[in-house]
Amino acid sequence: MGFGKDPHDSCDENELKEACKAVGYAYDPHKLFKCLQSVPGRVLLTIWDLDCLCSRKRQRGDVPHVESSPKSPTAHPGRQKRHFGEAQTLGTSASTPAMSTLVLKGTTARQQLITSLKQKHGSTVAAWRRAMDPKMTGQVQFGKFMLVLEDCAFHGNVKGLWQELCNDRPAVTFKDVDQDSAKILDRFRKFLVNKYGNLVTAWDQGIDHDGVGRVDKNEFTKAYQTMEIPARNCPNSCLTRLYLL
């Protein structure tokens, strides 16, 4: 009710600042955002980041109850009425669905996988690089895959999902996990290589103009716009998602 979101939605730093301002929070919302980050550098918060005890219960397989009615799927977030500061009652009513049910209801196993990875690591790319394939072999075996999903509190059928992703192959790739994100990254990489010759030159000349070794979202957006990337390679609608990846 405070953020105007479903329990399975996420919140960025700007939305947190807006909520803090509305409820009269007297401290620095930027420091608060840093304190709530479960992983350094993560750009999105979820309801689980607000309550560590409830999160631990969820990871152990206990039933964390959240009494909430999801907003209409047709409701526009900008027009969603927000009730900042109103207390929300938590209970263990038998009619109250568990959080895992709210997250998984009406979604495919692949969508459940993507949601679980994002909640834990911020994005599917971060999950792949940090947890599934830290040695950058380009693929992950079933044993590692199962451990990562267990750590992300995935509640679906792991073996069934594995068969769906690998199709009798001995391993899965990032493209198998998140095809849409893989396509965005592949198109962006192809454009950079074609324009600059290699990724190092692309970073030095096209993205990191100040030579500090990193860029924030505003700097990335400015660089993206100056490179004049054709819409067919990476449309402007994918800009924010590309940065988050």
pLDDT at 168: 81
Same domain, 46 and 95: yes
pLDDT at 240: 57
Q: How many other C-beta atoms can be found within 10 angstroms of the C-beta atom of residue 79? A: 7
Helix, strand, or coil (residue 163): helix
DSSP 231: T
pLDDT in tens, 107-151: 788 888 998 898 888 889 989 999 999 998 999 999 999 899 988
DSSP 11: B
Domain that holds residue 81: 13-101
Tokens 């900008």: give the residue: 78
What is the total count of domains within the chain?
A: 3
pTM higher than 0.75: no
pLDDT at 141: 92
Instruction: Tally the C-alpha atoms within 13 A of residue 90's C-alpha that lie toward its C-beta.
Output: 9
CATH number for the domain that contains residue 119 = 1.10.238
What residues in the chain have per-residue pLDDT under 50? 67-104, 237
Domain annotation covers residue 8: no
Contact 43, 122 (CB under 8 A): yes
Contact 66, 96 (CB under 8 A): yes
Same domain, 166 and 188: no
Contact 215, 208 (CB under 8 A): yes
Domain annotation covers residue 116: yes
pLDDT in tens, 182-203: 988 888 888 889 989 999 999 9
How far apart CA 128 and CA 113 sit, in angstroms, is 12
Helix, strand, or coil (residue 172): strand
How far apart CA 152 and CA 49 sit, in angstroms, is 13
Domain annotation covers residue 1: no
How far apart CA 175 and CA 114 sit, in angstroms, is 12
Same domain, 90 and 17: yes
How far apart CA 22 and CA 236 sit, in angstroms, is 31
Question: What is the residue-wise DSSP string for 194-230?
Answer: HHHSSHHHIIIIII-TT-SS---HHHHHHHHHHTT--
pLDDT at 6: 72
Contact 19, 86 (CB under 8 A): no
